[in-house]
């Protein structure tokens, strides 16, 4: 639907930059998922990632999505921030190439969870607007894992382990989040377990009737 609306606004090829009044408004998740879809259409392995960016506000990890694609010649996953156009780069004084985001500038949700669990970071530094803390990071851990299973939630989608209040989490729930936070670092070997959790665990899998299923 996004592609259809983009072409409706301006029927020229997607490679042609649009003036502001003919652009489709979207968020970081939209940019990342659309780029991943376009790359997959060209048979390039790609995936959307949910986590936190370090380059929007000082000493803050901003809720954000990016895209990763497999660079066959270099044998590595390359991270792309598809939201950053030249206007944003100039305003935010971003010096790095958004087509190859340097290591550490974007922190995946699982890494953020482990950093806070180890006392290496303040959970309240992770989030957006007035939403922050471990509960927010936990939600992004689930969103990132589901995205790796090609179930890309909207930023405001939530159920199960995402919406459960901290004081209602069981020990088993906490172990699940710890496991979900670790699995992305163990890819590709962990892809089977990621698919199993996202497809069968009622605390994680999309509910019946979810429009993205």
Residue 79: inside a domain = yes
How many domains would you assign to the chain? Answer: 1
Residue carrying the six token digits 């659309």: 34
Q: What is the DSSP letter of 86?
A: H
Q: Is the peptide bond before 188 cis (omega within 30 degrees of 0)?
A: yes
What is the span of the domain harbouring residue 96? 25-200
Local confidence band at 72 (pLDDT 50, 70, 90 cut-offs): very high
Residue 17: inside a domain = no
Residue 133: inside a domain = yes
Residue 47: inside a domain = yes
pLDDT, position 115: 98
Residue 205: inside a domain = no
Lookup: tokens for 185: 């670092």
Residue 76: inside a domain = yes
With 60 as the cut, is the pLDDT of residue 145 above it?
A: yes
Q: Give the predicted TM-score (pTM) of the model.
A: 0.93
Residue 136: inside a domain = yes
What does the mean pLDDT of the chain come to?
A: 95
pLDDT, position 15: 86
| HSE (side-chain half, CA atoms, 13 Å) at 204 | 29
Q: Residue 96 — φ and ψ, nearest 5°?
A: -80, 165
Q: Is the dihedral of CA 117, 122, 125, 131 positive or negative?
A: positive
Say if residues 60 and 80 touch (Cβ distance below 8 Å): no
pLDDT, position 213: 56
Please write the tens of the pLDDT for every residue from 94-131.
Answer: 999 999 999 999 999 999 999 999 999 999 999 999 99
Residue 210: inside a domain = no
Lookup: tokens for 157: 């989608």
* Long-range contact pairs involving 40-48 (C-beta distance under 8 Å, separation at least 24): 44/69, 44/70, 45/69, 45/70, 46/70, 47/147, 47/148, 47/150, 48/147, 48/152
With 90 as the cut, is the pLDDT of residue 211 above it?
A: no
Nearest CA among 149, 151, 141 for reference residue 188: 149
């Amino acid at each position: 639907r996004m592609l259809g609306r983009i072409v409706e606004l301006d029927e020229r090829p997607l490679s042609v930059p649009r003036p502001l009044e003919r652009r489709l408004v979207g968020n970081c998740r939209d940019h990342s998922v659309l780029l991943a879809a376009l790359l997959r259409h060209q048979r390039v392995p790609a995936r959307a990632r949910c986590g936190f960016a370090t380059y929007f506000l000082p000493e803050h990890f901003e809720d954000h999505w990016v895209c990763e694609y497999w660079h066959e010649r270099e044998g590595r996953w390359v991270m792309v921030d598809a939201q950053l156009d030249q206007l944003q780069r100039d305003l935010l004084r971003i010096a790095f190439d958004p087509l190859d985001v340097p290591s550490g500038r974007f922190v995946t949700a699982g890494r953020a969870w482990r950093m806070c669990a180890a006392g290496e970071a303040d959970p309240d530094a992770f989030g957006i607007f007035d939403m922050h803390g471990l509960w927010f990071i936990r939600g992004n851990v689930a969103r990132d894992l589901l995205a790796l299973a090609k179930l890309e939630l909207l930023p405001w989608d939530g159920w199960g382990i995402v919406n459960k209040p901290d004081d209602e989490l069981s020990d088993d729930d906490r172990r699940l989040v710890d496991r979900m936070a670790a699995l992305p670092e163990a890819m590709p070997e962990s892809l089977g377990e990621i698919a199993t959790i996202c497809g069968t665990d009622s605390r994680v899998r999309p509910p019946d009737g979810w429009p993205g299923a």
